Amino acid sequence: MADSQKSKAAASLQKQRDSLASPRGTGSQGPKLEPGKSPLAHILTKLGHGVTDRLWRLGFAAHFFVAVLLNSGTALRRFQLTIREIYFSGTLSIIIILVSGLFVGMVLGLQGYDTLERYGSSEALGVLVALSLVRELGPVVAGLLFASRAGAAITAEIGLMKATEQISAMEMMAVNPIARVVAPRFWAGVISMPLLAALFSAMGIFGGYLVGVRLIGVDAGSFWSQMQATVDFREDILNGVIKSFVFGILISWIAVFEGYDADPTAEGVSRATTRTVVTSSLSILAADFILTAFMFRGS
């Protein structure tokens, strides 16, 4: 049973390496300008090459995602592997999440009070702070921080393992690197992200409370009661958790993929790390728009 699983995993690994090798080798430098061709054809060829290259990369990323899911048995059975990664990407991110959550909440308190005061409804400050944090800022900002703090580290680690041929060494020893190295990091990110986002929101609301109630002097009773009357558990909080969960999957997926796909050189690893931060930040924002459109439309 275990043997057949291992051989299957090895086969899928082999297939991955084949698909990684074949189309890439043909010309990552772009097509050469043939003397008989017109400039227009040349431009079109270049465009087509760019498009197919990106599509191929997307397809490979999807293929890789499925491979990670299929090979996550080890990460979940030997959970100690995942716990170690949760320590690195989750526990060590607590400080940055706490501090930035506090400051974002305090700024929201100040700015929100300034605007609400003009309409004489400064008691709604609690609602404003809580809704903007729980629905949007918590998942999104925590996601951006997580992508640059933990995602970049995951990419750099896996990329460097590839550059120093540790990944190849594992394959030599018939250890599946996707199961042993990639999947634990992926699941650690997926588990950590919702917790960090909740922590960010809670801390932000505390920051808003500090500034609004303690510093400016909004009535504490109406601050909390209006918040509780407006914020709905399923509609607001649960949707925020779903958002952060989706962002966790996106960030971890992009981070492990970029690391695994990095060119095994110092420059390649640095480029892959940059790409992780850029791509995951952009996809967080895009996914946030799509999720928001589905969750909060016309309610």
Partner 1 sequence: MMNRATLDLWVGLFVAIGLGSLLFLALKVGNLSFASGGETYQLQAKFDNIGGLKVRGAVKSAGVVVGRVSQIHLDPEAFVAVVTMHVDNRYKFPRDTFATINTSGLLGEQYIGFDVGGDAEMLKDGDTVKKTQSAVVLEKLISQFMFDKAAGDGGNAKK
Residues that bind partner 1 (CB under 8 A): 80, 83-84, 86-87, 90-91, 94, 119, 121, 130, 134, 192, 194-196, 198-199, 201-203, 205, 224, 227-229, 231-237, 241, 299
* Angle ∠(170,87,95) on CA atoms, nearest 5: 140
CB of 197 to partner 1, least distance (A): 9
CB of 29 to partner 1, least distance (A): 42
What is the C-alpha to C-alpha distance for residues 126 and 145, in angstroms, rounded to an integer? 24
CB of 238 to partner 1, least distance (A): 9
Please identify, using beta-carbon distances, which residue of 124 and 272 lies nearer to partner 1: 124
Q: 236 near 137, Cβ under 8 Å?
A: no
Phi, psi (degrees; rounded to nearest 5) at 203: -65, -40
Please identify, using beta-carbon distances, which residue of 192 and 273 lies nearer to partner 1: 192
Location of structure tokens 């929100």: 112
Alpha helices in 152-238 (DSSP H): 152-163, 166-172, 177, 183-209, 220-230
Please identify, using beta-carbon distances, which residue of 43 and 99 lies nearer to partner 1: 99
Please identify, using beta-carbon distances, which residue of 195 and 284 lies nearer to partner 1: 195
CA atoms within 13 A on the CB side of 298: 1
Please identify, using beta-carbon distances, which residue of 101 and 259 lies nearer to partner 1: 101
Neighbour tally for 3: CB within 10 Å: 7
CB of 158 to partner 1, least distance (A): 18
Tokens, residue 59: 């397809």
CB of 31 to partner 1, least distance (A): 49
Sign of the alpha-carbon torsion through 131, 101, 294, 183: negative
